[in-house]
Homo-oligomer: A and B are copies of this chain.
Amino acid sequence: MATYKAPLREIDFVLNDVLKVEQLSKLPGFEDATPDTLLGLIEEAAKLIEDKIAPLNAPGDAQGCTIKDGVVTVPDGLAEAYKLYWQAGWVSLCNPTEYNGQGLPFTLSKVVDELLCSGNVAFALYPGLTMGCFEAIHATASDEIKNTYLPKLGNGEWTGTMCITEPHAGSDVGAAKTKATPNGDGSYSIEGGKIFITSGEHEMAENIIHFVLARLPDSPPGVKGLSTFVVPKYLVNKDGSLGARNKLKAMNIEHKMGINASCTCVMQFDGAQGWMVGAPNTGIQNMFVMMNLARILVGLQGLGQCELATQNAIRYAQDRKQGKAPNGKEQIIEHADVRRMLLQMKATTEGARVLAYETGLYVDIAHKHPDAAVREEAQDWVDLNTPLVKSFCTDSAFDLGSMAIQVYGGHGFITEHGVEQIARDSKILCLYEGTNGIQAMDLVRRKLMMNGGRLPQRFFAKVREALKTAGAEFAYISKPLAAAVDDLEATTKWVQQSYKSTPDDASFGCVDFQRAFCLTYLGYNWLRMAQAAAQHKDAGFRQAKHATALFFAQRMLSQVSALLANVRNPAAELMQLDAANF
């Protein structure tokens, strides 16, 4: 079975030595969020997750969820663990205190998300969607609605969902057909079917709050005619007590490749009573309030699975003996090709962690910094980084899950060893909250273009600033990084131009462009880690960080130029191939 131990030393290093997390405690409202406090909380979360939640990961996968007469049963132990988790305050970590939250930094909650998603990513979806629903209602609803739902969503006592997708409206959200008809009393009657509803139905919480995308009568077609509604499983009385069961039902649950402890429901709304939040026909904007943060969360889910794959592969390779390496040792970690895989896993996971945590930091700065210009810059970083974190961490999770299997050899294919579950669980991360292809289009079509193209410029400038501070002993990484950033900047200009004249060219290469951008970002992270690690007190830690930085510089950053060369190819002939001739 895969086991999990939170990488506390690494987290400490990234937060303190690389990202200077003490800056958080200088933001208004975060005065208590000192590095020591944050690390203390992370240690506490780690204990709960290691002891109570990670042990449910493999059994939950084996047992899965079941449905009978609309009642969904989750795997044994999950409900008790969820209760422990929300009651200990982990769901509400960064929620506002007025709604039972603890008002701590978003960054901290993302670190805890990483731990939880290493321990049990299927479990993590219950609090994860709850937070998404909370954020969406918080951003859009009237005080009355907020006061009705947010206290119990905010601490996790009730759980939440996002009801967006319909059978013919996935990536094309605007095709959604679910109807909302005014009841005349300020409420609406919701009619329609939704699919892929994570945590759509279960008995783990007293109530479930659905955030539903639906269409008002006579609304315009497409995305411009969508509105958002709060639809509770049980109606809530004025005094906060629960009333009648609403007219909505889980019709079925999906059988999936992975995350089997998470119930993925087909939901039917049969005239369910709901309340509109936000203005009519602004549903898509209301969704995106939540969607952007949800995409960062999915990135953290990916990071958690990267870490799980990496640490299990390392432990197995340190222990498993097969044959003799040239140095006479028998552990497979001494074999060059196994070591190559482990270093690639480390370089990916540790580099991705800096990207993910830094994005969290920028969210806090964008929300809290007293200086508007600093907030604006931080928001630019959040916008730029969101597709990078989402796509890179999740593609990597699947790749590293597969690589962990490879390190285990034939044993990796056997369920009881637990690493094949990582690959299965991780694949969904590349698909939901916008497939990774959609992320790449968001990067190319929006993030490179908005605000006169200044988002990527901020990145190039920041990397060049870091390159200036790098002494000759870091030339092994600063030199290829400088070349990568020059190439990336030139290709960014090409993409910005060509998107206007021949959008298919830019779109055809968008996934390769996104990967090249991420690898360059990781190069920047590895330069910073190499510099910070050189000062670290532990010699073993210094040695490992140096070797991993070297691996990244020599064997991963080297992909950037080939990827970018791909991007700059014209696509016209490929787009002209008749669909029937494929």
Contact = CB atoms under 8 A, between A and B. Distances in A.
A328 to B, nearest CB: 13
A580 B512 CA distance: 35
Nearest to A504: B336
Given A410-B432, A413-B427, A562 B566 contact: no
A341 B440 CA distance: 13
Contacts of A317: 582
B547 A323 contact: no
A323 to B, nearest CB: 4
A170 interface: yes
B340 A511 contact: yes
Nearest to A415: B255
A339 B574 contact: yes
A329 B578 CA distance: 12
B339 A508 contact: yes
A129 to B, nearest CB: 15
Given A342-B582, A569-B555, A424 B257 contact: yes
A437 B331 contact: no
A477 interface: no
Contacts of A559: 559, 562
A309 interface: no
A331 B582 CA distance: 13
Interface in A437-459: 437, 440-441
A334 B420 contact: no
A44 interface: no
Interface in A118-173: 165, 168, 170-172
B540 A578 contact: yes
Contact of A337 (B256, B318, B406, B437): B437
Nearest to A340: B508
A440 B423 CA distance: 23
A554 interface: yes
A73 interface: no
A347 to B, nearest CB: 11
A402 B398 CA distance: 9
B508 A582 contact: no
Interface in A314-357: 314, 317-318, 321-323, 326-327, 329, 331, 333-343, 346
A66 interface: no
Contact of A578 (B432, B507, B543, B565): B543
A257 B415 contact: yes
Contact of A543 (B171, B504, B577): B577
Contacts of A206: none
Given A254-B414, A508-B339, A543-B581, A406 B430 contact: yes
A413 B170 contact: no
A292 interface: no
Nearest to A170: B409
A337 B431 contact: no
A216 B276 CA distance: 79
Contacts of A582: 314, 317-318, 333, 342, 346, 544
Contacts of A508: 336-337, 339-340
Nearest to A571: B336
A170 B411 contact: yes
A65 interface: no
B196 A410 contact: yes
A343 B509 CA distance: 13
Given A441-B337, A577-B544, A256 B413 contact: yes
A508 B165 CA distance: 45
Interface of A: 165, 168, 170-172, 174-175, 196, 254-258, 314, 317-318, 321-323, 326-327, 329, 331, 333-343, 346, 398, 402, 405-406, 409-416, 420, 423-424, 427-428, 430-432, 435-437, 440-441, 503-504, 507-512, 540-541, 543-544, 546-547, 550-551, 554-555, 558-559, 561-562, 565-566, 569, 571, 573-582
A-B complex: 6 closest residue pairs judged by Cβ atoms: A336-B507, A257-B420, A540-B581, A172-B323, A172-B322, A336-B508
